[in-house]
Amino acid sequence: MLHKPLFVLAHQTQYPKFHSTYKNVVKNQWKPYDEQKVQQEKQLRHMISFAYENVPYYHRLFKELNLSPEDIRTIEDLEKLPILTKDIIKSNWEDFKPATLSSMKYYEQATGGSTGTPFKYRLLKSDRFLSAALLYRGWGYAGYELGDKMAFLAGSSLGVGTKSVLDKKIHEVTRNIRKLSSFDMGENDMKQYNDILNSFQPKSIRGYVSSIYFYAKWLQENDIKIHNPDYVFTTAEKLLPHMRETIGNAFECDVFDAYGLNDGGLGAYECPEHNGLHIDIERSIMEIVDDNESQIDEGTGDILATSLNNYAMLFIRYQTGDMGHIIEDSCGCGRESKLLKEVVGRQQDMLQTPEGKYVHGAFFNSYLFGNINGVIEFQVIQKSLEKIVIKLVLSEDFDEKQLESMLSIVKSKSQKWDVEFKLVDHIERTKAGKYKFIVSEI
Ligand SMILES: [Zn+2]
């Protein structure tokens, strides 16, 4: 019972406006979409005029395009501005510093990124706590309340394994959480996780898709029953239907997926209706654009982020590198925020054919492995334009006859591809502990 006040206090001491911010965004979720959009565009106008006045890069950009801040008043107006890439930020690093930076409280952040090259940016302190408030609200769609017991199964990006032992202990106690590292997932480690979960009895478990899935598989294969949480939250990687099923069965609970991108300030969370992920509107504007860089309300395209609160580093139409599928459906839960049906993968998760075509990684996910039995994990590696290696971790259910049909499905994308299947015991994780199912070496 003491956990909620302690949890709130731990945040309040760092950021006194935390609790009011949280209560505010919780209220916000039930507002009609039109009202939310009005609020968003008010924030947008404020941010645009700040960018024009204080950020040299944007001032120059507006001048070059013959635009004034008054030209960007709505979400639709953003189309007048070009897409911002990481390369543009890197080569104009100094010009992205606002004139008033020295008066701001901010953190220096870096993302590992699946491209391997770390990308640096600044995150305003108030924005970090807004992001936390939105995260807790998002978990709240499933039933989470501040201070509820939670176990984390994750690598560095969720803050596991980076702090000293004492810091870690304090952090765990004040926030009522336990952290299990996804870097250590041997048999003995997982037995230890069982003990921790059985004695701690968390209400929820949160972590990387691949780590939780791996653990869930192991529990099932060994027929181990452990404490069942009320729900599992997955993040950071693509949650495939068979993974959702396995996780749900092993922990005997509902699974909720989420999408988050700190550098763009994006977040989207699933509700119990499971119609897609409700897109947050308080921290940023999410645009989904087609090949002509035009906004779409339905369909698949690049995800762009425009930060509304991170004045220490303003991202306007920032290319996240992710692609998303947006739908116009309304959700039965009553929330009117827009729905991201799925994040279909990162742009770099593309394969190329010798004919010069691109094949999206989602092809392998949904069309190929979605219909094949007995594939526990896979990884598609493009060695060269012509050479594709597909690593497979198989269960006993796998029928080798399926290899033939798999080959012909892959070949349907390019007859010139030389495809090799390799059976392996496990798929290696990236340095950040993530599982990549598409690797391009060209
Ligand atoms: Zn909903």
Residue 113 confidence class, pLDDT cut points 50, 70, 90: very low
Cα 208 to averaged position of ligand 1 atoms, centre (Å):
22
CA of 327 to the centre of ligand 1 (A): 12
Per mean pLDDT, which range of 47-56, 71-80, 214-223 is the poorest?
214-223
Q: Say if residue 156's pLDDT is above 60.
A: no
Q: How confident is the model at residue 107 (pLDDT cuts 50, 70, 90)?
A: very high
Average pLDDT, the chain: 88
Is the pLDDT at 306 greater than 50, yes or no? yes
User: Is the pLDDT score of 434 beyond 70?
Assistant: no
Interval between CA 333 and ligand 1 midpoint (Å): 4
The arithmetic mean of pLDDT across residues 22-34, rounded, is 96
Measured distance CA(175)–CA(9) in Å, rounded: 10
pLDDT of residue 136: 97
Q: Give pLDDT, residue 115.
A: 41
Structure tokens at 382: 């493009």
Residue bearing the bigger pLDDT, 399 or 365: 399
CA of 155 to the centre of ligand 1 (A): 29
Q: How far apart are the CA of 388 and the centre of ligand 1, in A?
A: 40
Assess whether pLDDT exceeds 50 at residue 334: yes
CATH 3.30.300.30 placement within the chain: 350-440
Greater model confidence, 154 or 53: 53
Give the Å distance between the CA of 2 and the centre of ligand 1.
30
Both tokens of 209, joined, read 């898709």
pLDDT of residue 345: 63
Report CA(299)–ligand 1 centroid distance (Å).
19
Residue 268 alpha carbon to ligand 1 centre in Å: 11
CA–centroid distance, 77 to ligand 1, in Å, is 28
Average pLDDT over residues 277-289: 97
Contacts of 188 (CB under 8 A, 6+ apart): none
Cβ partners under 8 Å of residue 272, min gap 6: 141, 142, 254, 333
Residue 65 clears pLDDT 90, i.e. is over it: yes
What is the Å distance from ligand 1's center to 49 Cα?
34
Average pLDDT score over residue span 288-297: 92
pLDDT at 157: 47
How far, in Å, CA of 334 to CA of 379, rounded?
A: 39
CA–centroid distance, 330 to ligand 1, in Å, is 8
336 CA distance to ligand 1 centroid (A)? 8
Ligand 1 centroid to residue 22 C-alpha, Å: 19
pLDDT band at 118 (very low <50, low <70, confident <90, very high): low
Question: Residue 91: pLDDT above 50?
Answer: yes
Alpha carbon of 255 to ligand 1 centroid (Å): 14
- CA distances (Å), origin 307, targets 41, 88, 123, 264, 285: 12, 17, 11, 6, 7
In angstroms, what is the span from residue 317 Cα to ligand 1's centroid? 26
Of 163-167, 221-225, 264-268, 293-297, the range with the lowest mean pLDDT is 163-167
pLDDT per residue as tens digits for the range 123-144 = 999 999 999 999 999 999 999 9
Split at pLDDT 50, 70, 90, the class of 303 is very high
Distance 245 CA to ligand 1 centre (A): 20
Q: Which pLDDT score is estimated for 23?
A: 97
Could you tell me what percentage of the chain is helix, strand and coil, using 3-state DSSP and rounding each to the nearest 5? 35, 25, 40
- Looking at residue 272, its pLDDT comes to 97
Between the CA of 36 and the centroid of ligand 1 the distance, in Å, is 16
* Correct CATH for 1-344 of 3.30.200.20, 3.40.50.12780, 3.40.718.10, 3.40.30.10: 3.40.50.12780
Q: How far is the CA of 337 from the centre of ligand 1 (A)?
A: 8
Question: DSSP label at 259?
Answer: E
pLDDT confidence band for 116 (50 / 70 / 90): very low
Q: How far is the CA of 151 from the centre of ligand 1 (A)?
A: 25
* Residue 246 Cα distances to 212, 250, 256, 356, angstroms: 10, 6, 13, 38
Rounded to the nearest angstrom, the distance between the alpha carbon of 334 and the centre of ligand 1 is 6
Range of weakest confidence among 100-109, 252-261, 291-300, 421-430:
421-430
Range(s) of the chain covered by CATH 3.40.50.12780: 1-344
Q: Which tokens in the block code for residue 31?
A: 């507002």
Please give the distance, rounded to the nearest whole angstrom, from the Cα atom of residue 266 to the centre of ligand 1: 18
Residue 271 Cα to ligand 1 midpoint, Å, equals 5
Residue 31 CA to ligand 1 centre (angstroms)? 13
pLDDT of residue 68: 97
pLDDT-derived band of residue 347, with 50, 70 and 90 as boundaries?
low
CATH of 350-440, one of 3.30.300.30, 3.40.50.300, 3.20.20.70, 3.30.700.30: 3.30.300.30
Structure tokens at 371: 């219909």
| pLDDT at 59 > cutoff 80 | yes
